[in-house]
Structure 1
Amino acid sequence: MDTFPKCSVCHNEFTLKGPVPFLLPCLHAVCEKCVTSAAGGVISCSTCQREVNLTDTSLQKNAVRQKEIFHLTVKHRPTELLCTHEDDGNQAVCWCQGCEEFLCEYCQNMHSSFKLSRNHAVHNFGDITPQNLENGTHCSIHERYPLDLFDKSCNMCICSQCRRGKHADHEVGYLDEAAEEVTQRIEQHGKDLSALLSRQQTHLQSIRQDTQLANRTQDTLRKTIEHTFRSLRSQLDQREKELLIDLECQTRDTKATLHALEASCEEHHARCTDISGYIQKCLLYASTSVLLQLETTVEGMTRTCLETPSPETHDVPEAVFNTNGLSKLKSDMSGFGNITTLTEDSEEVTPEDKQTQTNDDYLVDLEQKHKMELAKLKSNIASDNERTEQLQQLTDKLNAEANNMKLMLAEKDITCQVASETIHHLQTFLIDFPTEGCVHLLKIGVADRRMVLHCLRLKYDKDRANLQKVHINTEGHLINRKSGIRPAVKGRLMEYSGTCSTVPLPRAGCPQYWEMKSRVCLDKTLPEDLLILEVGVCQEERRDVCHCIGGRPASYSMSVVHCTTHGGICRTTWMGMTYFVGMYLPCLPDTLPNSAGASHTLHYGVAYDDAREKIVFIDVKENKVISTIDIVDSSQPLWPMFGVYNPGDVTVSMTLVVGSDINMTEEKKAMIVKALL
C-alpha cells in the first residue's frame, strides 16, 4: 500500500477531508492547522530543519499533494468516499471529471441520463489514474472561455478574451507549449538530481566498502599478530598488548572518519531524495498552471542541491603489520641466555656469548641464521619479479595506447585531407547556388551536387492569398479565416483555400527542403472526410482549379483530414496522375484526438529533388517519413502550395520554417538521404 503523505510539523497523515496541505519553500508539506497555529509566525520543518517565517513568506496550497491524497484515497480507501451529488450518505462508486463530484450508483444512472452531463467523463474508482484527474480550468474573468494561453510578460494563464484586452501587447504563447517547456526543464532538474543521487550512492557504497575493508584488515592482522606472538607469548606478551592497542586506536580513528563522511553524505542524499521524489510527484499530479507556479521553487531547491559541495575523495590509509627483524629476533632468542657462575672474570666472558656454546651449537645457530637470510632473500627476489612483471604490463599498455594514438592521428590527417578535397569540389559547383537560404551536406566526403540539401527561403505570396477564405496576419501566419478587409480580385487565387509561394521551385539539380509548423484547435468534433490543412506542390496552371490540390493532375500533396477508415485524424498523401485520376497513398493516423477543444502543434517537412524526381513528406515531431513519391513530373516548374480549411469547425494557423531557421540535425539528414536514395 502506498504511504499517505504526512505533515512535516505535526507528522499527522493528510486525509481527503482533513486540513489542506500547504507547500513550504523546501518543497515539504505542512497542514493548514500547523500554519494557522504557528508560534511566533515561524514554522520549523522537521524533515530538513529549515525554518520559515510566515510574515515574510506567503505559502501556497500544495496542489500536487492534494491530488496525490485524492488519488491514494480513491485507490486504497474508497469506503471513506460518499456521494457528493445529493449528499444522501450513499457509498460513492465513481468520479465525474467534469462536475468534480463523487457519485453513487443511483446518481450515476441519473447523471448519464441528463443531456447536459451525458458526455461527461465518469471514471470508476478502479480506473482512476493521475492523468484523468486533470480537468480544464476556465478564466475567472471570462467564465465561458478556457485558460489556453500563457502571458510570458505577466507569467500567468489567460484566455483568448484576455488576449484581446489588457494583454494585447504582451508576449503570449499557447499554454500547452509553455507547459511543455516547463515540463522539460523540471524533468531536466529531475535528471540532474538523479545523476547526483547516483554519484552519492556510489560514494556511500565506497565508504561502506572501505569500512568493511577496515574490519577485514583488523581481523586479518589480529590473527597474524596472535599467531606470531603465540610462540613468543612468555617473552613478548607486553609487546603484543601494545600492538593490539595501537591497532584498535588506528582502526577506531579510521572508522570514525568514515562514519563522519557517511553521515554527511547520507544527509545530503536524503535531502536530494526528498526533492527528487517531489519532482516525480509534480510530473505525476501537477496541472499545467501548478507546474508554472512551482518551477521557480523547484529550480531553487535543485540548484541548492547541485551547488552543495560533495565530500572530497577520501584516502583511507591501510594498516599493515611490519614483521621486519622477526627472523633475527628468533635467532637472537635462540642464542640468548645461559647459565654461568658469577666470578671475577665474568665481565671478560660476557661479551663473547659464543664461547659459552659448543661448536655444534654454534654451527646450528649459524645454519638457522643463514636459512632465515636465504628465505628473506627469496622473498625479496619474488617481490622484485612481481614488480618487474607489473612494469612490463604497464609498458605494453603504454605502447598499445601510443600505437592507437598514432592510428587516430593518421585517420585525422586522412579526414582533414578528404574534407579539404570535399570543400574544394563543393566550391566549384556551389558557385551558382542561390544566395538566399542555407546549404547542408547530406553525406560527408561526397562531392556530389545531389548530396547537397538546399533549405529554401520561401515566402507566402500575400498578393495571391484567397482572402475570401484565408488571410495572412501581421506575424506572417496563414489563418483559415476570411479577411476582414475587402480583397482586390486581380491576381488573387479565387478557388484555392490558401496561398502559394512567391516563386516556383528552382531547378537546382539537388534536394530542396522547407518546413511548416501548424497550430490546430478543434472547435467541435469533426464530421467525416473534413479537410484541415494541406501542403504540397503543383504546376502553375493547376494552382487555382479547385479549393484544394489533392488528387489533381500535376500535383503532389499531403493532407491532414478526418479519416472514415480509422475514425480519427489522419495524414493522407495524394499524387495526380492524369487529368481525371489521382493516386491515394495509405494514410497514417495522427496524434490529434478528434474531440472538441483539442489542440496540437503539427510540424511537417517537404524535401523535393528534381534530379531524382522525388518528393518526401516528413513528420518532424515524430522524426519519421510519412510518404515518398518517386514519379514526380519535373518537366515544368512546381509551385509550393499551402492550404487551410473549414473555419467553422477548426482553427488553423500555419507558419513557414525556412532557410537557417530550420533545425537540421544529423538524424534528420540521414532520414532525408534514406528516403531520396
Structure 2
Amino acid sequence: MAQSASKSCDICMRGPGHNYCEQCDQWLCENCKTLHLRSKISRNHTFLSGQNINPEEKLLCTEHDKNFIFYCNACDIPICKLCIVKKHKQHDTSEINESTQELQSELKKMIDSKMKCIRTNLDKIEQGTGCYQTAVKEAIRTITEEGNQIKLWIDKKVQALIKSLEEQETTSLQALQSIRTKFENDMEMLKKCQNNFAESETITDATKRLKELKLIKSQLDVAAGKQSMVIPTVKYNKKNVSERELIYLFGDISFREIVYSVEQTPKKDTRYLLY
C-alpha cells in the first residue's frame, strides 16, 4: 500500500500520483483517474485527492495479498481481482463499493424506519399516559360519587325508619295515656261505689237500702266493664343482607391491559467474512 501522495502514478508510471483509489490501493494521475472511472468495473470507485493523504490501512486478500475489489454474493465474502478469475468466475458478483453503498442505503432506511417507529410509540406513550391517568381520575371520581349516593340513600332510609318509629311511638303513648286516664277515673268512681256499698250495709231500713243499692248499681253501669287490653309492640324485621349483595349495587371496573409486541426482522445469513 502506498504511504504518501508524492510518488508517481502506479498505472502509467509517468504522471504525479495525486489521486488515491481506495478500492485498488493505487495512486493515479489525473488522466489515469479519468480512465479508471470510465471503466465499467471501477466506475464506482472512490478517490482521495490532495497533498497530505494518509490512506487508512486496509484488509487484504490473505491468499493473493490484493485489495478486495468485488463481493461474491453466492459465497457472501469479499474477493480480490484474482479470486474472481480463479475461484468465483461463475458466481454472482458485484463491485464491493456498489455492495457497500447498497448495504449502507439499506441500513440507513432500516435505522430511519425503526427510529420513526420508536418515535411514534414514544409519542403514543406520552399521549396515552396522560389519557390513562385522566381515565383513572374519572373512574375514581365516579366510584366516589356512586358510593356517596348509596350512602345518602342508606342514611335517608335509616332516618325514614327512625322517624316512622318515633312517630308511631308518640301516637301509641298518647293512646295509652288516654286509656290510662279513663281507667284511673273509673277507679276513682269504683272506690266511691265501694265506700257507698259499705255504708249501705249499715242502713237498717230495707227500702232505703234498696234505693241506695240501685244508685250504686247505676254508677257501676257507667263505669267500664271487663275489657281486654292489648299493649302495642314493635319489632324491626332485619334483612340478612350480605356484603356481596351490597357490592352488587356498585358497577364494575373494566381494564384493557397493555399489549406490547416486538416485530423481529428476519435475520439473513450474512457473514461478511474478511480475510
TM norm structure 2:
0.38
Larger RCO, structure (CA 8 Å, separation 6 or more): 2
Determine which structure has the larger helix proportion and give its number. Answer: 2
Structure index of larger Rg: 2
TM norm structure 1:
0.17
Determine which structure has the larger strand proportion and give its number. Answer: 1
